[in-house]
Amino acid sequence: VKRTQRIASLKVGEQIVGRVVDTLGNPIDGKGPIGGELYEMPLERKAPGVIFRQPVTEPLQTGIKSIDAMIPVGRGQRELVIGDRQTGKTAVCIDTILNQKEFYDAGQPVFCIYVAIGQKASTVALIAKTLEEKGAMAYTVIVAANASDPAPMQVYAPMAGAAIGEYFRDSGRPALIIYDDLSKQAVAYREVSLLLRRPPGREAYPGDVFYLHSRLLERACKVIADDDIAKNMNDLPDNLKGIVKGGGSLTALPIIETQAGDVSAYIPTNVISITDGQ
Tens of pLDDT, residues 7-19: 999 999 999 999 9
Q: Is residue 202 part of a domain?
A: yes
Residue of 112, 120, 153 whose CA lies nearest to 18:
112
Q: Is residue 227 part of a domain?
A: yes
Mean pLDDT to the nearest integer, 134-141: 98
CATH number of the domain encompassing residue 201: 3.40.50.300
Q: Is residue 166 part of a domain?
A: yes
Percent of the residues in the chain that have a pLDDT greater than 70, as a whole number: 100
Q: Is residue 3 part of a domain?
A: no
In sequence order, what are the residues at sequence separation of 6 or more whose Cβ sits closer than 8 angstroms to the Cβ of residue 72?
A: 59
More confident: 247 or 278: 247
Q: Is residue 120 part of a domain?
A: yes
pLDDT in tens, 43-80: 999 999 999 999 999 999 999 999 999 999 999 999 99
Q: Is residue 31 part of a domain?
A: no
SS3 143: strand
Confidence of residue 278 (pLDDT cuts 50, 70, 90): low
Confidence of residue 276 (pLDDT cuts 50, 70, 90): confident
Confidence of residue 277 (pLDDT cuts 50, 70, 90): confident
Mean pLDDT to the nearest integer, 21-36: 97
Q: Is the pLDDT of residue 199 over 90?
A: yes
Q: Is the pLDDT of residue 85 over 90?
A: yes
Please tell me what DSSP assigns to residue 204.
Answer: G
- Mean model confidence pLDDT for the chain: 97
Residue of 161, 159, 82, 94 whose CA lies nearest to 126:
94
The pLDDT assigned to 110 comes to 98
Using CA atoms of 211, 10, 80, 72 in order, give the dihedral in degrees to the nearest 10. Answer: 130
The number of distinct structural domains making up the chain is: 1
| Spatial separation of the C-alpha atoms in residues 113 and 278, rounded to whole Å | 21
Q: Is the pLDDT of residue 236 over 80?
A: yes
Residue of 144, 197, 174 whose CA lies nearest to 251:
174
In sequence order, what are the residues at sequence separation of 6 or more whose Cβ sits closer than 8 angstroms to the Cβ of residue 203?
A: 265, 266
Residue of 95, 228, 215 whose CA lies nearest to 172:
228
Q: Is residue 24 part of a domain?
A: no
pLDDT in tens, 206-216: 999 999 999 99
pLDDT in tens, 149-186: 999 999 999 999 999 999 999 999 999 999 999 999 99
Q: Is residue 39 part of a domain?
A: no
In sequence order, what are the residues at sequence separation of 6 or more whose Cβ sits closer than 8 angstroms to the Cβ of residue 264?
A: none
Q: 145 lies in which domain range?
A: 57-274
